[in-house]
Structure 1
Amino acid sequence: MASSPTIRYGALAQTFHWLTAVLVVTAFILGPEGSEDEVFRGADLGRQAHETLGLAVFVLTAARLLWRLADRRPDPPDVARWMDIASKAVQGALYLLLCAVPLSAVIGTWLEGHPVTLLAGIEVAPMIAASHSLGERVSELHGLLGDTLIWIAGLHAAAALFHHYFLKDTVLVTMLPRWLKK
C-alpha cells in the first residue's frame, strides 16, 4: 500500500518556522541603534530583550535544524529548475544567517569588552579576550547581517505569496496550520 503524499510540514516544524519569524522581526525592531556608548549604557530593557530574543533565535534554529533531520517534509511541487535552486539557496542563506546574526552579536559584544545582558539583568561575561577595534567591526557586520536576514526573509515571504496567488501551487500551504483555510 502506497503512503499518501505529505502536503504540509508537521505542527512542530510549523511552530519552529513561525516562532522564528516572530522572534526575528521583534528582535530587529528592538535592535539598539547609535554609538557603542548609547547601546551599552545602563540596563536598557530594549537591549536586554533584543539580546534575549537573539539567543532564543539561535537556540530555536539549532533545535529546528536537528528536528529537520528526523522530520518528514512535504513533497516539493513541480517547479522550474531555477526556482528549485533559488529556493534551496534562499533557505540555506536563511539558516546561515539565523546562526551568524546571533553569533556575530555575541562575539562582537564580547570583543568590545561588554557582557551579553539578557532579560532580568542576567549577564554573560565575555569569554574571549577583548579587541575593541575588531569587536566594532564584528558588531558592524552583525548589523549588516541582520539587515540582510530581514531582506532575504522578506523575499522568502514574497516568493511564498507569489507561489500561492500566481502559480497556485502548495508552497505556502505547506507551512500553514491545517486549521487555517487555504
Structure 2
Amino acid sequence: MRTEPNLVYSAPARVLHWLTAGLLLIQFVLAWTMPDVHRDTKPVGLIAWHLGVGMAILLLVLVRCLWRSTHAVPPEPVTLPLALRALARYTHRALYALLIAVPLIGWANASSRGWPISLFASIPMPPLSPTGSPTGHALGDWHRNFAWVLLALVAMHVSAALFHHFILRDRTLIRMLPSSDKR
C-alpha cells in the first residue's frame, strides 16, 4: 500500500517526532528508576542523566517548534468529525506545551538546589532560579505533576494513533512512520 507523498510528514518531521518519543521513553524510565530527590540529594548517576536528557528534550522540542512554524503540516487523508479534529489539535498543543514546560520547571527546580545544568554534559546552562529559592523548590512538585499529565497525554496520543490504524483503518499512523512515503 502506498501513501501519497503529499500526505506524509517530511523526513525531518518524522525524525524529530521519533527522536522526541525515544528521549521521552528514556526520560520516563530514568524518572522511575532514579532515587527520590531530597534536600541532601546530589545530581549524580541517574539524576544527572535525567537532567541531561531533560535538556536534550527541551532543545529538540524547540527545534521541532521552529521546524513546524516554517513547514506546513500535510493535509489529513481522512475526514474526521469536527470534535475529533479539535481534540487532536488541542492534544498536540498540550503535548508541545508540556514538552517545553516540564523540562523548564525541572530546570528551575534543579537551579534552586544549586545543581549545575548542562546541555550534552558540556555546555553549561544558566540557572533559572536562585539557589535556595522557595519557589524553585516548590516547582519540583509541579514538575512531577505535569510529568504525569504529559504521560497521560502521550498515552492518549499513542492510543489515538492505534485507533486510527486498527479501528478507522486510515493512514494517520502511517503518515508518521519512517519511510511512509514508500508504503
TM-score by length of 1: 0.86
CA pair 128-85 structure 1, distance change in 2 beyond 3 A: same
Q: State the aligned residue count.
A: 177
| Residues 3-30 of structure 1: per-residue CA shift (max 9 Å, x gap) | x771210110000001000101101111
CA pair 118-11 structure 1, distance change in 2 beyond 3 A: closer
Report the CA distance between 1:180 and its aligned residue: 8.9
Structure 1, unaligned runs of 5 or more? none
Report the CA distance between 1:48 and its aligned residue: 1.6
Q: Does 1:20 align with 2:20?
A: yes
TM-score by length of 2: 0.85
The whole-number CA distance in structure 2 between the counterparts of 1:8 and 1:105 is 34
CA pair 48-180 structure 1, distance change in 2 beyond 3 A: farther
Please provide the CA RMSD for this pair.
Answer: 2.4
Alignment partner, residue 141 of structure 2: 140
Q: What are the residue-to-residue correspondences of 1:1-182 with 2, within 5 Å?
A: 6-31=6-31, 32-37=34-39, 40-41=41-42, 44-76=44-76, 77-116=78-117, 120=121, 124=125, 126=127, 128-178=129-179
The whole-number CA distance in structure 2 between the counterparts of 1:92 and 1:18 is 17
Higher relative contact order, chain-length normalized (CA < 8 Å, sep 6+): 2
Report the CA distance between 1:169 and its aligned residue: 1.2
Q: Secondary structure at the match of 1:6?
A: helix
Structure 2, unaligned runs of 5 or more? none
Structure 2 residue identity aligned to 1:15: V
